[in-house]
Amino acid sequence: MTDTLTLRIDLDSSIPAGRQIVDGLRILLVSGKLSPGSELPSVRRMAMDLGVHFNTVAEAYRTLADEGWLHLHHGRAARVVCRDAPNPTMDQMDEFGHRLRALIAEMLAKGIPAAKLQDDMRVAAEELES
Partner 1 sequence: MKAEVAMLILPLVFVAVIFQFTPLITRRGIFFSATVDPEFPHSADGRRVLRSYRWQAALWAILAIGLQLVLSPRHPLTAILPMLLMIAGSALSYWLKFREVHTHYGQRRPEIRQAELSVPPARERFNAWLWIPPFAALALTAAYLQLHWNQLPERFPVHWGADGQPNRWSSREPLTVFAPVVIGAGMNLVMLGLAWLFSQLSRNTIMRRITVRLLEVLLYPLTLTFIIVALLPLGLVVPVWLIPAIILTCVAGLIFWSYRQIVAPAIADAVPEPQSDSYWKAGMFYYNPNDPAIFVAKRVGIGYTVNFANKMCWLVLAGILLLGLLPAALGVLAAKK
Complex with partner 1: residue 24 or 117, whichever CB lies closer: 24
Please, which residue, 8 or 90, has the CB nearer to partner 1? 8
The residues of the shown chain that bind partner 1, judged by CB under 8 A, are 2, 4-12, 28, 34, 38-41, 44-54, 77
CB 17 to partner 1: min, Å: 8
Q: How far is CA 122 from CA 18, 83, 101, in A?
A: 27, 24, 16
Give dist(CA 39, CA 89) in Å, integer.
30
Nearer to partner 1 by Cβ, of 42 and 117: the residue is: 42
Nearest to 56 by CA among 8, 22, 84: 22
CB of 99 to partner 1, least distance (A): 25
Q: How far is the CB of 16 from partner 1 (least distance, A)?
A: 12
Q: What whole-number distance in Å separates Cα of residue 52 and Cα of residue 39?
A: 20
Please give the Cα distance from 39 to 46 (Å, whole number).
12
Name the DSSP class of 89: -
Give the residue with the Cβ less far from partner 1, 24 or 128. Answer: 24
The least CB distance from residue 24 to partner 1, in Å, is 9
Residue at 3: amino acid letter: D
